[in-house]
């Protein structure tokens, strides 16, 4: 039985200008395993590799023998990479002819790059790619300056001329030292790129070269400031609110939760937790000031109630009506409008169904509620939704009631699941935003008690034998599926001028879709040992295995994994198998 042990750390792609993209990895080994064949195809000192097809084994054997004293030290030496989009296109056309199934790291890198190009409406010939370790993705880091110099040397004629002029004016001895230090001629680079490499080396060592780089970056509107500017992508903010203690709830766990989560980091999100005053006028000001200050991309309010389960509130009322219980400033309200001129009710925008699904899977009691009460919690919920509405801020926002008797540890455990679900599954998914991605639902990574590997053959067999309903889908149902799986479409449907018009007109379902989200979660999720950094590579491998085992007699691919994502690249909580439509009249 085939078993997979994944060691690859996930890659991320960033756009720092219209034509310069950066792919980052968490460590140099992960970065190197993804870039090695691309980079050596471009600039290897060995003519057998440069511009030619070669296997990973061939390169490892050569490097180990000639450069690594018997070991493949390549992945431990290089910290940055650079390559033109045109070269990547040449590489892909040559290597795919020899290896229809590329290495997983390479497939994922190409998937990231092509996805970004589609979003930016660019072609490979128009861009330049840099590879960096995450910690080097910083304007003050020498590795970042080094790779930016490569990009500008190849893209910007003025930069190239001025940097060559600086290079020619260097003393001969300094040129030689720079060449030897930067180029490592035997095992490093082709002589064709020696000057480019030397200039990049000098950029991180010489003030004149660095000044030229800075001036060029500024002229191209690429942010750069050696003293204060970090190019690292800013974390998005999720604002979490809780309440101060009150006479009714002197140990208000929602306030403790907000304090506990404050400043925590989850993937690309940073949590800002604040404790709201239980005072009518102060509460509104505190909410508006927090939103203005932190500019959150999501807001989750919390409060406590005399309940036995978590309640995901969906409706906020423009009403306060609880004359029995005073606010902390002594005020009581009966049938009071919260905001004059505002609607009677406002709806929250959190994906409560996905949150409920996640909590149920962890055996945490939960309900979806349409009644947030008429006291402080409802007031906070309404203020948030109304302020967002008036400011035109279309971000997910909601409110969650917690059982007052739960301790902080219990609440933190539940909220960890809520956050992973909320931050990685949004409710604004539409058919036009669906994206196919070799990746997995992030919220599944939070589970514990995993095994060290997964029997892929066993999993595939059960998926293929699964007794669930395949749904026929037309182009009008899911146009993105038709675009992503174009190769699945029979050639007879290609003989026309406009795919959109043609497929909409015939409205014939060419694909079938099987939703295995719940089934897979219930049956297999607790067997996964893969951590956050390994999941992407696992699903690329799994997709390849699925395609291999379901090929037609003519060797054509018939099945693939499809994971919907929204326009922000966030998971929607669904996992599908896509296949060509089965013709019941066609003999098997």
* Burial track 19-50 (b if 16+ CB lie within 10 A, e otherwise): bbbbbbbbebbbbbbbbbbbbbbbbbbbeebb
- CA separation for the pair 363, 374 (Å, rounded): 29
- CA separation for the pair 59, 393 (Å, rounded): 52
Catalytic residue among 43, 105, 313, 534: 313
**Residue 146 is a catalytic residue:** no
The CA angle 523-524-528, to the nearest 5 degrees, is 160
The CA angle 439-9-547, to the nearest 5 degrees, is 40
- CA separation for the pair 470, 540 (Å, rounded): 23
**Residue 401 is a catalytic residue:** yes
- CA separation for the pair 457, 111 (Å, rounded): 25
- CA separation for the pair 206, 178 (Å, rounded): 11
| Residue 155: strand, helix, or coil | helix
- CA separation for the pair 231, 140 (Å, rounded): 9
| Spatial CB neighbours of 35, under 8 Å, sequence gap ≥ 6 | 81, 83, 109, 131
- CA separation for the pair 575, 434 (Å, rounded): 12
Sheet arrangement for strand 511-515? 471-473, 511-515, 576-580, 559-562
91, 41 contact by CB (below 8 A) = yes
Catalytic residue among 183, 377, 383, 534: 377
Picking from 153, 173, 154, 175, the residue whose alpha carbon sits closest to that of residue 163 is 153
Catalytic residue among 401, 534, 536, 559: 401
Residue 279 — φ and ψ, nearest 5°? Answer: -135, 130
Q: Are strands 471-473 and 511-515 parallel, antiparallel or unpaired?
A: antiparallel
- CA separation for the pair 420, 423 (Å, rounded): 5
| Spatial CB neighbours of 77, under 8 Å, sequence gap ≥ 6 | none
- CA separation for the pair 449, 469 (Å, rounded): 31
**Residue 86 is a catalytic residue:** no
Sign of CA dihedral 138, 139, 140, 144: positive
Residues annotated catalytic, as ranges? 313, 377, 401
């Amino acid at each position: 039985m085939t078993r997979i042990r994944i060691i690859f750390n996930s890659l991320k792609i960033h756009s720092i200008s219209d034509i310069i993209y950066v792919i980052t990895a968490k460590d140099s080994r992960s970065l190197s395993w993804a870039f090695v064949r691309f980079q050596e195809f471009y600039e290897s000192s060995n003519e057998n590799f440069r511009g030619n097809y070669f296997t990973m084994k061939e390169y490892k054997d050569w490097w180990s023998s000639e450069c690594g004293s018997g070991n493949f030290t390549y992945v431990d030496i290089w910290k940055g990479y650079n390559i033109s989009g045109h070269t990547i296109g040449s590489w892909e056309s040559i290597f795919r002819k020899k290896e229809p199934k590329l290495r997983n790291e390479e497939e994922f890198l190409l998937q990231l790059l092509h996805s970004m190009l589609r979003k930016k409406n660019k072609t490979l010939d128009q861009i330049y790619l840099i590879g960096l370790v995450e910690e080097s993705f910083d304007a003050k880091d020498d590795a970042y300056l080094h790779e930016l110099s490569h990009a500008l040397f190849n893209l910007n004629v003025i930069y190239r001329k001025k940097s060559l002029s600086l290079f020619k004016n260097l003393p001969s001895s300094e040129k030689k030292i720079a060449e030897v230090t930067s180029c490592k001629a035997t095992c490093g680079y082709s002589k064709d790129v020696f000057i480019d490499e030397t200039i990049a080396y000098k950029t991180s060592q010489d003030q004149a070269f660095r000044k030229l780089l800075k001036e060029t970056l500024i002229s191209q509107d690429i942010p750069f400031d050696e003293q204060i500017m970090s190019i690292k992508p800013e974390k998005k903010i999720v604002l979490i609110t809780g309440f101060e203690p009150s006479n009714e709830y002197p140990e208000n766990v929602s306030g403790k939760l907000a304090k506990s989560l404050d400043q925590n980091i989850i993937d690309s999100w940073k949590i800002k937790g604040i404790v709201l005053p239980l005072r009518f006028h102060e509460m509104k000001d505190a909410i508006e000031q927090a939103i203005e200050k932190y500019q959150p991309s999501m807001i989750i309010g919390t409060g406590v109630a005399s309940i036995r389960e978590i309640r995901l509130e969906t409706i906020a009322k423009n009403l306060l009506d609880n004359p029995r219980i005073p606010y902390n400033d002594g005020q009581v309200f009966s049938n009071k409008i919260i905001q004059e001129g505002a609607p009677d009710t406002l709806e929250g925008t959190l994906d409560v169904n996905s949150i409920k699904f996640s909590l149920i899977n962890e055996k945490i009691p939960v309900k979806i509620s349409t009644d947030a009460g008429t006291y402080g919690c409802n007031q906070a919920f309404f203020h948030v939704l109304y302020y967002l509405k008036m400011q035109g801020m279309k971000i997910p926002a909601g409110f969650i009631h917690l059982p007052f008797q739960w301790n902080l540890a219990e609440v933190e455990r539940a909220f960890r699941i809520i956050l992973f679900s909320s931050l990685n599954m949004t409710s604004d998914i539409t058919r036009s935003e669906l994206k196919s991605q070799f990746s997995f639902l992030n919220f599944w990574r939070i589970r514990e008690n995993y095994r060290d590997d997964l029997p892929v053959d066993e999993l595939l067999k059960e998926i293929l034998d699964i007794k669930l309903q395949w749904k026929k889908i037309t182009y009008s149902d899911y146009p993105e599926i038709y675009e992503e799986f174009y190769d699945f479409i029979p050639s007879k449907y290609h003989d026309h001028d406009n795919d959109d018009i043609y497929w909409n007109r015939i409205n014939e379902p060419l694909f079938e879709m099987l939703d295995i989200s719940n089934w897979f979660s219930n049956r297999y999720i607790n067997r996964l040992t893969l951590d956050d950094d390994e999941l992407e590579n696992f699903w690329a491998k799994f997709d390849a295995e699925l395609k291999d085992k379901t090929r037609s007699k003519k060797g054509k691919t018939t099945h693939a994994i499809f994971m919907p994502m929204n326009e922000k690249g966030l998971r929607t909580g669904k996992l599908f198998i896509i296949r060509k439509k089965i013709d019941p009249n066609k003999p098997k």
